[in-house]
Structure 1
Amino acid sequence: MRVEERSAAAGARRRATVLAERLGFTGERLGQVQLAATEMATNLIKHAREGEMMARIARHGTFAELELLSMDRGPGMADVPGSRVDGYSTSGTLGIGLGAIDRLADRSGLHSVPGHGTVLFARFHQPGGGAVPEPAFCGLTRPIDGEQECGDAYAVRTEAGVVYVMLCDGLGHGPLAARASREAVDAVRRMALPARPAEILRHVHQRLSSTRGGAVAVAAVDPAARQVRFAGLGNVAAWTVGSGRRRGMISVPGIAGAQARTFREHVYDLPAGAGVVLHSDGLTDRWDAALQPDPSGHDPLLVAGALMRDAGVRRDDRCVVAVVPRDGR
């Protein structure tokens, strides 16, 4: 949702309400979700430029959450901890918005850089659903303007402490690209694990033979071994990120489902506190790791959201997945 005019706050509130009611939110708790959505949108309208919000249901096995995410290219904040205290304001208002969001949400986070913008998220656990584990990954997709379906998709599975990530960028955009990506996701979901990324990539390549194909990358993130195994075909970008630096991973030219002469697998070090990011070519690779939230100590939703905002400058489908290992999980 674009949030740039005053009327957009009501739209954000309605969208959050529909999803919250689907998860069984009622009464006071539903009102708290509505208040948080309204405050997030109002902050964008008052303080930011190029403001956007996302509202979605995220499922983790038997658990479910409502996620709210706001992104902007506004002035940013120099004092992030202070901005989350009631009474802090940069515009002469009461300054209760960010503090209220912290109190109302089950989990929230904020990343802001002066002159660069702010990313803020809030999560609300499904009523009666029990405790939701801290996520080790997050993926975001967004279709090109004018399309309802995104031609990019991702799948993430965890087996024996290793996080397997696959990202597919279906050729072109629209329904046919989305079909190719869905086929890739289904192939990964059905494949027996553990497996090497090159094996997974070969399997996806075979499954995409009846589609228009796409660029595909697979990473196996092993925090215990402090390494990442990676295999890529086409122009999906992959990086290890940490301490304000990034290191790229190597894909080979080709199109999964059509042109693939070889499936090469490489092994990369995963320093302590580092994370892994994969993104489609709907995001430029000319982003500055020093301006992104460091995976160490930040939620993967913040990592993915900030990168989607900063690097998503091309007119194309977009997908980004961030993996932030949690205590060996």
Structure 2
Amino acid sequence: MSGGAVASLPEGLLDQGVWFRVEAAGTAAAVRRTAERLAAELGIPERRIADLSIVVAEAAGNLVKHADEGVLLVRPTRANGNAGVEIVVIDRGPGMADVSHALDDGHSTVGTLGIGLGAIVRQASWCDMHSVPGKGTVLVAQVWPEKAPEPAWAAGLTRPLTGEPVSGDACAAREVDGRRQVMVCDGLGHGRLAHAAAQEAVRVFHGAPAAAPAALLDTLHRTLGHTRGAAVAIAEIDPLRQVVRYAGLGNIAGTVLTPDAPRRGMVSLPGIAGHQRRQIREYDYPLAPEAVVLMHTDGVVDRWNPADYPGLLIRSPQVIAATVLRDAGTRRDDAGVLVARSS
């Protein structure tokens, strides 16, 4: 996690996203410069880069002035052949009981992201937010060259082990031949070799022909042998049949979450994709229209309770994933969370 300028970022890291711990005005300025640089690399027009600068300056400035343990992620977002910039803003401040009131210009809630939200909403192409008193606030905003696309049905977040420049965890989503599929991968260990294994899994996942999760996982197992290996799980969301199909090797946790219903865990079998495979099996689980599928690596624990976050499960996948990463992610390992909506 960075706290300063981006001139020394490893090649390709900006395209994958950069986390900042935002505690000082100098860091807020570095975040803004990073966002502007990314937008320019993506070919976003200058007028929208100016809007992005306002969004990032407001968000980062509020973290400096009012937040506890504020962090901000800058990363590209892509859809339908277009690219935009997404920021994910997380704090552990007192939180807000009335988010809609906080969006009004001039409203201030000390210790939260309550100042400047109106400007963020006006300049961003799309934004979403969730806050719980006593826990903190998560804000996600996107700036696109033109009109924002439809909100994503799935999104993931990864964060490296403290002190590492890259994460060995990775998340991916794809739609191919009518199949909506997601993958979470945890490269063995951490650091650059784990990162390389995870990125190879993402490459193979995106390039593989349409197939069921178990067949895709077998393909990954056969192609990751030249890497360190990884724990991998793949889920396929089938809203029409109201089912999720799931196959996993290694320590990836999968859960179906439904408002006002107990969580339902999904089974990953022992193994390391690329090296150790006893068997690959696929399981089906019921998936109500209002349910979400949440998958995470072992850098995230299951100690959080959805009931403690009223209204969270109806928010965007990005906001759900960021909230879980904040409150259940550990600093002793890479951490990755993916959320997919059933509708």
Calculate the TM-score normalised by the size of structure 1. 0.91
Q: Give the 3 Å change call, closer, same or farther, for CA 131–38 of structure 1 in structure 2.
A: closer
C-alpha spacing 1:208/1:24, structure 2 compared with 1 (3 Å): closer
For residue 185 of structure 1, what is the amino acid of its counterpart? Answer: V
Secondary structure of 1:263's match?
coil
Distance 2:101 2:224 in 1: 50
Instruction: Describe the shift of the 1:26–1:123 C-alpha distance in structure 2 as closer, same or farther (beyond 3 A).
Output: same
2:107 is the alignment partner of 1:88 = yes
Choose 5-14 or 315-324, whichever is displaced more: 5-14
Q: Could you report, residue by residue, the CA deviation over 1:14-70 in whole angstroms, capped at 9, with x for unpaired residues?
A: 111111222334544322211111111122122211100011111124011110110
Does the aligned pair in 1 maintain the 2:84–2:144 contact within 8 Å? Answer: yes
Equivalent pairs, count = 322
1:131 deviates by 4.8
Distance 1:3 1:142 in 2: 15
Query: Which consecutive segments of 4 or more residues in structure 1 shift more than 6 A?
Result: none
Once residues 228 and 47 of structure 1 are traced to their aligned partners in structure 2, the CA distance between those partners, rounded to angstroms, is 41
Aligned to 1:43: 62
1:272 match? 289
Q: Which residue in the other structure is 1:134 paired with?
A: 151
SS at match of 1:178: helix
Q: Deviations over 1:197-241 (max 9, x none)?
A: 111111111112222211111111111111101111111111112
Q: Note closer, same or farther for the CA distance 1:139–1:91 as it changes in structure 2 (3 Å cut).
A: closer
Residue matched to 1:222:
238
CA distance, structure 2, for counterparts of residue 66 and residue 22 of structure 1: 11
Aligned to 1:145: 162
Deviates more, 1:295-304 or 1:212-221: 295-304
What are the residue-to-residue correspondences of 1:113-192 with 2, within 5 Å?
113-127=132-146, 131-192=148-209
- Deviation per residue, 1:100-136 (Å, 9 max, x gap): 1111111011100000010001111125xx6523211
Partner letter of residue 142 of structure 2?
R
Q: Which shifted more, 217-226 or 293-302?
A: 293-302
Letter in 1 for 2:335: R
Please point out which of 112, 120, 125 is paired with 1:106.
125
Q: Is the 8 A contact 2:125 2:148 kept in 1?
A: no
Aligned to 1:318: 335
Taking a change above 3 Å as real, the CA distance of residues 316 and 14 of structure 1, as seen in their structure-2 partners, is same
Q: Matches of 1:115 and 1:205 in 2, distance apart?
A: 43
**1:208 aligned residue (224, 248, 262):** 224
Tell me the SS of whatever aligns to 1:225: coil
Give the match's secondary structure for 1:240. Answer: strand
SS of 2:232 mapped into structure 1: strand
Counterpart position of 2:51: 32
How far apart are residue 138 of structure 1 and its match? 0.9
- CA deviation profile, 1:219-269 (whole Å, cap 9, x unmatched): 111111111011111111111122155221111111111221111211101
Return the match for 2:30 from 11, 29, 32: 11
Change (3 A) 1:295 1:187: farther
C-alpha distance in structure 1 between counterparts of 2:155 and 2:161, whole Å: 20
- Is there any run of 5+ residues in structure 1 with no aligned partner, and where? none
Distance in structure 1 (CA, Å) of the matches to 2:306 and 2:69? 21
DSSP 3-state at the match of 1:50: coil
CA distance in 2 between counterparts of 1:6 and 1:137 reads: 33
Aligned equivalent of 2:13:
none
Give the structure 2 partner of residue 21 of structure 1: 40
Change (3 A) 1:119 1:96: closer
Shift of 1:74: 0.8
Equivalent of residue 92 in structure 2, options 73, 79, 83: 73
Distance 1:53 1:25, change over 3 A: same
Shift of 1:92: 11
1:248 paired to 2:297: no
Alignment TM-score, normalising by the size of structure 2: 0.88
Q: Which runs of 5+ in 2 are unaligned?
A: 1-19
Query: SS in structure 2 opposite 1:153?
Result: strand
Q: CA deviation at 1:309?
A: 1.0
Percent of paired sites with the same residue:
46
Q: CA separation in 2, counterparts of 1:161 and 1:291?
A: 35
